[in-house]
Homo-oligomer: A and B are copies of this chain.
């Protein structure tokens, strides 16, 4: 010990001081430093939803930069709006599936002929809205400007902003008709649109513009086109996505030329995996690109063999992408998917940048709407219908964060339209009838459908039941943990629609029940939700008296008769996680008040999704109607999460009581 101690640290071992240092006075304004080197977001020194971190709070250009700084390679996916409502339903499931591979963003093209800014379910605007809000994908909406008034454009941009879209691909678009003349004060070039967005919306949107590795076909020269590109960047574009090309050299030369004239923003190569002879020819015609001879030589001989062309296209794309990535100049790849799944997914998997991360930031599907970025608590009831939950809460000004009870009394939007395309079953009526029965003979046929859904075994007509009105997907992996018991109780008329096992501190990286950052521990209280007859409810209520201190219950029928032992109508947290250096996250609650809104939806699904498959007055329809009118919806929580789940015992006791001769 001596008197030069303090200076000794400062000078002698400066690497110890690599972390954030700040003086006492400037506490809250200072940036958060961390040893992992991640940058904190600009708008606040603290993130209010600890578990979601930067990824949910950053804007696209920041995410791009962070990935680049970290040396992570990424990809993005381009889609066009579908022509029909059915195709829209399919595209949405494709978003969900391809979203699982971890694209940095997707983009939706603008089809001037297809009423792109309208509320139609096939419009560019609504498809992009669905991608952001319901699929939770970072999304770029394309927008073209030629032949449009400033008011039209501003209207589209305002609508996009309102819907939660934060990124615009600013394009000129193809002039309608052969002859095209500049309009004075009109939008003649993409650069006009970029300027307009920056003038009217300041820095709200991230703006992307198109680059042409071979020069725009209408440009005077390659050099002139580069100068136009620089103008677009100077006007406020944040990054560039290129037109497709066939050789990596084409892109790398273009990139160097861009850098040489001072374009420093990210430039993302557009990759087009050849998927078929005709689609290639059409695209080449539209883009006025020339297909290199060596490619033509391969394709022409196999032009009628789709599979062979696709295999070749995948090979070609993989080797070109490898060259791009290996150059060290490319960090992200943009794929023109043509709304198809297989070729692009193949390329991504072979490149090793398709990353199905089983770890979820939260146990439920997060929306990407900026208004919802603090959201981290939801009622468990919509676990299998997250899109319905998002739809019914879209008008909320604030989203519960930290604690559900802090939110004001929740007003759920009415769910009048069960056929909204993002809520629609992926299966058509005929398939549903095969799964759920062309003809029902009694309540027992309904028990059988529920049981087959749980077991995965085919029904008596040999069809597997892969979805239910309350769950459009097969059983979750987590629910599989409960399969045996679920099968047993469904056979006896406890018609389960939601459940989770109790979990007493599994690692947050657990592949089945884990979520949130690594190094944490996740917990659950056992939960069971089911429809059942009033006879069973009577016995159940007697049994529940024995479990009064341990089990919380809510029992309600379609008329709203409601029996509960929830103290003061308080929510019960049933999923929570403890993470290093964070506050507690409790993403799922059983909320007695919301349960009554969910109840309306859960009962209505019997009629809307199931009963209406059958003729009016038909016996099958009357059976479902009877269940709808007379059954109860029950939820049970076992509060003693460190002990063995007692809910199965509760059900066993109930049947024992029902079968006991001494029952009055």
* CB interface residues, A 1-58, toward B, < 8 Å: 1, 5-6, 8-9, 13, 16-17, 19-25, 27-28, 30, 32-36, 38, 40-41, 45-48, 50, 53-54
Q: Is A581 within 8 A of B563, CB to CB?
A: no
CB of A599 within 8 Å of the partner chain: yes
CB of A504 within 8 Å of the partner chain: yes
Q: Is B549 within 8 A of A580, CB to CB?
A: yes
CB of A312 within 8 Å of the partner chain: no
CB of A346 within 8 Å of the partner chain: no
Taking the closest CB of chain B, its distance from the CB of A402, in whole angstroms, is 3
The one of B20, B40, B570, B630 in contact with A5, judged by C-beta atoms closer than 8 angstroms, is: B630
CB of A537 within 8 Å of the partner chain: yes
* CB interface residues, A 576-601, toward B, < 8 Å: 576, 578-584, 586, 589, 592-593, 596-597, 599-600
The one of B24, B38, B405, B562 in contact with A567, judged by C-beta atoms closer than 8 angstroms, is: B38
How many copies of the chain does the oligomer comprise? 2
Q: Which residue of B lies closest to A549 (CB)?
A: B519
CB of A482 within 8 Å of the partner chain: no
CB of A642 within 8 Å of the partner chain: yes
CB of A566 within 8 Å of the partner chain: yes
- Residues of chain B within 8 A (CB-CB) of A28 are 409-410, 593
CB of A572 within 8 Å of the partner chain: yes
Q: Is B581 within 8 A of A24, CB to CB?
A: no
Q: Is B16 within 8 A of A541, CB to CB?
A: yes
Against B, the Cβ 8 Å flags (1 = close, 0 = not) of A269-298 are: 000000000000000000000000000000
Q: Is B405 within 8 A of A566, CB to CB?
A: no
CB of A476 within 8 Å of the partner chain: no
Q: Is A53 within 8 A of B534, CB to CB?
A: no
CB of A521 within 8 Å of the partner chain: yes
* CB interface residues, A 592-626, toward B, < 8 Å: 592-593, 596-597, 599-600
CB of A105 within 8 Å of the partner chain: no
Known: A17-B563, A568-B47. A403 touches B583 (CB 8 A): yes
Q: Which residue of B lies closest to A590 (CB)?
A: B581
- Residues of chain B within 8 A (CB-CB) of A50 are 405, 570
CB of A649 within 8 Å of the partner chain: no
Q: Is A34 within 8 A of B566, CB to CB?
A: yes
Listed stretches A129-137, A202-210, A553-561; interface member: A553-561
- Residues of chain B within 8 A (CB-CB) of A568 are 32, 34, 38, 40-41, 45-47, 53-54
- Residues of chain B within 8 A (CB-CB) of A561 are 21, 23
* Assembly CA distance A9 to B631 (angstroms): 12
Q: Is B24 within 8 A of A600, CB to CB?
A: yes
- Residues of chain B within 8 A (CB-CB) of A48 are 403, 405-406
CB of A330 within 8 Å of the partner chain: no
What are 5 residue pairs bridging A and B, where the CB atoms are less than 8 Å apart in the complex?
A: A19-B565, A32-B592, A33-B564, A552-B580, A576-B578
With A402-B406, A521-B642 already in contact, 13 other A-B pairs whose C-beta atoms are closer than 8 Å: A6-B630, A23-B562, A32-B567, A40-B569, A46-B409, A48-B403, A50-B570, A401-B406, A403-B403, A571-B583, A573-B578, A581-B637, A584-B586
